Structure 1
Amino acid sequence: MFGIGFWEIVIIAVLIIIFINPKDLPSVFRKIGVLYRQINGLYRDVSKWVNEMETEVKKEYSLKALADPDHSSQSGENNGKKEEVGNNGTDKGET
C-alpha cells in the first residue's frame, strides 16, 4: 500500500528494536496495527466516496446529454452550433 519494500521494513524493525524498550514492543506494535487499520479504513472510505461521486457525475452528464441532444457533442463536431437545414434536406448555402 505504501510502496515499502523488504529492506525498508528490516531497517524500520532494527530502528524500533534499538530505540524502544523490548518490554514495550508488544504494545507499540499493537498501537501501530490499530493505526494502520484506521488509515487503511479511511483510505477505503475516501476511495469509495470518490468512485461514488464519479459515477454520480457520469450519470448526471449522461442524463443531461439525453435531455438536450443538441449540446451533447463531446467531440466538438458542430462546436455547439445547430446546423440550419433547408427545405430539401441540404444545408443552407449549398446548391
Structure 2
Amino acid sequence: MIPQIGFTELLLVGALALIIVGPKDLPLMMRKVGKLWGQARGLAREFQSSFEELGRQAEIEELRKEVEALKRGDPVKDIQKDLDETGDAVMAPLNRKPPADDAHGAGGAPEPETKAEGDTPDAGEPPEDAKSS
C-alpha cells in the first residue's frame, strides 16, 4: 500500500532539500524533478495505452474468428432450413384430407341453407305486410 504524505512530511522534505541543496540550486533541482516526474507520467500513460491497444486487438481478433466461423457455417442456409421445416410442420395438418365418412360430406362443415325463390321478397317490392295496408 502506498503511504500517504501529509503536510508536515512535505514541509520536512522541503526544509531538508533547502538545507542540503541550498537556496541557489533549489529552483534548478525542482525543475529537474518536475521534468522527471512528467516523463514518468508520460511513460505510465504510454504503458497503459499500449495495454488498452493490446486488449482492443485481442477483442478484434476474437470478433474476426467469430465472423469466419459464421461465414463457414452459412447461417442464412441454416435459418432457411429451419423455416422450411417449421413451414412444413405448420402446413402438414392443413394439407391433410378429412375422412370421407363424415355426415356433411367432404368439407366437414355444413353448407349454408339456401332459400327458395319465393321465400324472400324482391328488392324492388315491399314486404307483404306493407302491401295489405
Question: TM-score by structure 2 length?
Answer: 0.44
Counterpart code for 2:6: F
Give the drift of 1:39: 0.9
Give unmatched runs, 5+ long, in structure 1.
70-95
Give the drift of 1:16: 1.4
Counterpart code for 2:48: S
Give the drift of 1:51: 0.5
State the SS of the aligned residue for 1:22.
coil
Question: TM-score by structure 1 length?
Answer: 0.58
- Residues 65 and 34 from structure 1, CA distance in 2 versus in 1: closer, same or farther, beyond 3 angstroms? same
Corresponding position of 1:58: 59
Corresponding position of 1:5: 5
Which protein is bigger by CA-based radius of gyration? 2
Give the drift of 1:3: 6.3
Give the drift of 1:17: 2.0
Quick one: distance in 1 between partners of 2:3 and 2:65?
41
Counterpart code for 2:5: G
Give runs of aligned pairs for residues 21-36 of structure 1, distance below 5 A: 21-36=22-37
Give unmatched runs, 5+ long, in structure 2.
71-133
Give the drift of 1:28: 0.3
Quick one: distance in 1 between partners of 2:42 and 2:13?
23
- Residues 62 and 9 from structure 1, CA distance in 2 versus in 1: closer, same or farther, beyond 3 angstroms? farther
Q: Which has the higher contact order (CA 8 A, sep 6+)?
A: 1
Quick one: distance in 2 between partners of 1:63 and 1:22?
62
Identity of aligned residues (%): 28
Counterpart code for 1:5: I
State the SS of the aligned residue for 2:24.
helix
State the SS of the aligned residue for 1:5.
coil
